[in-house]
């Protein structure tokens, strides 16, 4: 589906986030927060006290409940389904656990052709359908003007965990596979790409209005390696979803104090973190022939600041968004530059929203 057709669809949508994503003038300034459902909310902690994280992600009823918790507290324009970027790895055959204080752990790291052969290509509806069921249940409680966001991890970021077996500070095993076993590395990313396309299509069929692709760790490789090893897989996902009339948000990665060469990327929204100004991002992207809507980019740590400082910082982001439009940015969706942190005071989100609603 062409951008023109997507815009025509967006013009009929009552959802401000969709309008902004497609470069249309929204009815109001759209705002949501990455990780808006989670540990900073006492109601979320009450749910988690009774169930482990993976079981929560696999329960449509609990997933819908947790997804809706922040929308009951705040005047937000979107719900993003509560899940984890590593859930598709379960469908591919790895076991996912979360060790206290250690983060995610995936069984049987993928470091050879033999490891790769053990992976399966999951049936998204059968093996991962609980995510779609959670989306469908959540959607029933949303207002017509609120957007349902589905998401997945981008292939390189998901591969990083699958290869390392969990979180990493050095990404040594990832780079070893990428540099010394290039065919195996490429085959793994292809496998993840096919899984991700089917997974996101399933989420759209369940009711997602827009999908987001998280490439959190892309900043761990050079711009050249990104273009060679990663970009083609990102492009295949975004092209496929957009060809079916689904707007796409791409998060360029934590540490985006620079932007990769994204020439040719078919994406509606680019989400940038707080280390890259909206005006700088707009200028770089315009030089690459890209003029997407930008999403972001309040530093989430500013949410611990006093109210006056927080309000001033939000106003600065809004001011920069106005300047970025002059440089070619087609729209803006307010968000934090990366996910909300566990120590975030819940009342700070109300302060941010009040500035945008004034």
Structure tokens at 346: 């819940």
Strand pairing report for 103-106 and 147-153: unpaired
Please indicate whether residue 84 is annotated as part of the active site. yes
Please indicate whether residue 145 is annotated as part of the active site. no
**Number of C-beta neighbours around residue 42 at 10 A:** 9
User: Could you say which of 29, 44, 77, 84 is catalytic?
Assistant: 84
User: Could you say which of 48, 283, 291, 311 is catalytic?
Assistant: 48
Please indicate whether residue 35 is annotated as part of the active site. yes
**Number of C-beta neighbours around residue 118 at 10 A:** 12
Alpha carbon of 238 to those of 1, 63, 166, 178: distances in Å?
12, 26, 26, 23
User: Could you say which of 161, 199, 226, 302 is catalytic?
Assistant: 161
Structure tokens at 215: 């490439």
**Number of C-beta neighbours around residue 216 at 10 A:** 21
Alpha carbon of 139 to those of 7, 104, 206, 249: distances in Å?
23, 28, 9, 19
Buried/exposed 92-101: b ≥16 CB within 10 Å, e otherwise: bebebeeeee
Instruction: Catalogue the active-site residues.
Output: 35, 39, 48, 84, 161
């Amino acid at each position: 589906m062409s951008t023109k057709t997507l815009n025509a669809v967006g013009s009929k949508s009552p959802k401000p986030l969709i309008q902004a994503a497609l470069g249309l003038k929204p009815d109001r300034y759209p705002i949501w927060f990455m990780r808006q459902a989670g540990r900073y909310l006492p109601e979320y902690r009450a749910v988690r006290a009774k169930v482990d994280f993976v079981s929560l992600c696999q329960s449509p009823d609990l997933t819908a409940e947790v997804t809706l918790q922040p929308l009951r507290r705040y005047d937000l324009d979107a719900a993003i389904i509560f899940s984890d970027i590593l859930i598709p790895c379960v469908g591919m055959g790895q076991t996912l656990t979360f060790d206290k204080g250690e983060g995610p752990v995936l069984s049987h790291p993928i470091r050879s052709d033999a490891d790769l052969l053990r992976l399966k290509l999951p049936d998204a509806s059968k093996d991962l359908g609980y995510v779609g069921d959670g989306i469908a249940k959540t959607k029933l409680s949303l207002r017509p003007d609120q957007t349902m966001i589905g998401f997945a991890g981008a292939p390189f970021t998901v591969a990083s965990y699958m290869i390392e077996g969990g979180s990493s500070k050095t990404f040594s095993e990832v780079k070893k596979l990428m540099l010394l076993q290039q065919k195996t590395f490429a085959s793994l990313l292809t496998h993840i790409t096919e899984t991700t396309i089917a997974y996101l299509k399933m989420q759209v069929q369940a009711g997602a209005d827009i999908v987001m692709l998280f490439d959190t760790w892309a900043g761990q490789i050079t711009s050249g390696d990104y273009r060679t090893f990663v970009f083609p897989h990102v492009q295949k996902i975004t092209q496929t979803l957009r060809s079916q009339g689904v707007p796409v948000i791409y998060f360029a990665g934590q540490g985006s104090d620079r932007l990769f060469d994204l020439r040719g990327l078919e994406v509606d929204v680019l989400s940038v973190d707080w280390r890259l100004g909206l005006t700088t991002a707009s200028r770089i992207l315009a030089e690459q022939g890209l003029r997407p809507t930008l999403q972001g980019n309040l530093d989430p740590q500013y949410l611990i600041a006093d109210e006056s400082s927080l309000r001033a910082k939000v106003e600065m982001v809004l001011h920069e968004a106005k300047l970025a439009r002059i440089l070619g940015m087609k729209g803006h969706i307010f968000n934090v530059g990366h996910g909300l942190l566990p120590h975030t005071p819940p009342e700070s989100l109300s302060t941010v929203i009040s500035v945008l609603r004034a």
